[in-house]
Amino acid sequence: MKTNRVTLITLGVRDPARARAYYEALGWVLEEDLGPTVFYAMKGQKFGLFTLDGLARETGRPVASLKTGAATLAQTFNSPDEVDAMFAKAVAAGAEAVRPPFETDWGGYSSYVADPDGHLWEFAHNPFWPLDEDGLIA
């Protein structure tokens, strides 16, 4: 079995209804609602939202120690125009604009938002990583 993989990404959220509304406003399609945890299917992976209290119980760490950390999640797109559109959609859905779309010094086009719980997302166009029809890196 290959170890270079991620099968589940779970974000701790303060208000599950607010978080769910945000992601669904971006176009994410709910797969399963288990109350304190919800899941969205991705091709070969899952994306989950879990209450901070539930995540604290499960990990054995106090809620106060659970932070968003120095990490980003990213979606890449086929063009700068698609980046602009997703950035605007995220801000309209309640994200904080962290860095509006800009041309990178490595030849791409990128932007950053923070979701309602502060998790950083990058929306980018990487001309060196073409996407297939499913939006996956080819």
| CATH code, domain carrying 98 | 3.10.180.10
Q: Please tell me whether residues 50 and 81 are part of one structural domain.
A: no
SS3 content of the chain, % helix, strand, coil (to 5): 25, 35, 40
Report pTM: 0.89
Residue-number span of the structural domain to which 36 is assigned = 1-64
Number of CB atoms found within 10 A of residue 30's CB:
13
Q: Please tell me whether residues 1 and 45 are part of one structural domain.
A: yes
Question: In Å, how far from its chain's centre is CA 34?
Answer: 20
Q: Please tell me whether residues 18 and 50 are part of one structural domain.
A: yes
**C-alpha torsion sign, points 105, 106, 112, 118:** negative
How many angstroms separate the CA atoms of 22 and 11, rounded?
13
Q: Please tell me whether residues 36 and 102 are part of one structural domain.
A: no
**Residue pLDDT tens, the chain, 138 long:** 778 888 999 999 999 999 999 999 999 999 999 989 999 999 989 999 999 999 999 888 998 888 776 779 999 999 999 999 999 999 999 999 999 999 999 999 999 999 999 999 999 999 999 999 988 888
Q: Please tell me whether residues 80 and 137 are part of one structural domain.
A: yes
Q: What is the number of domains present in the chain?
A: 2
**C-alpha torsion sign, points 86, 91, 94, 95:** positive
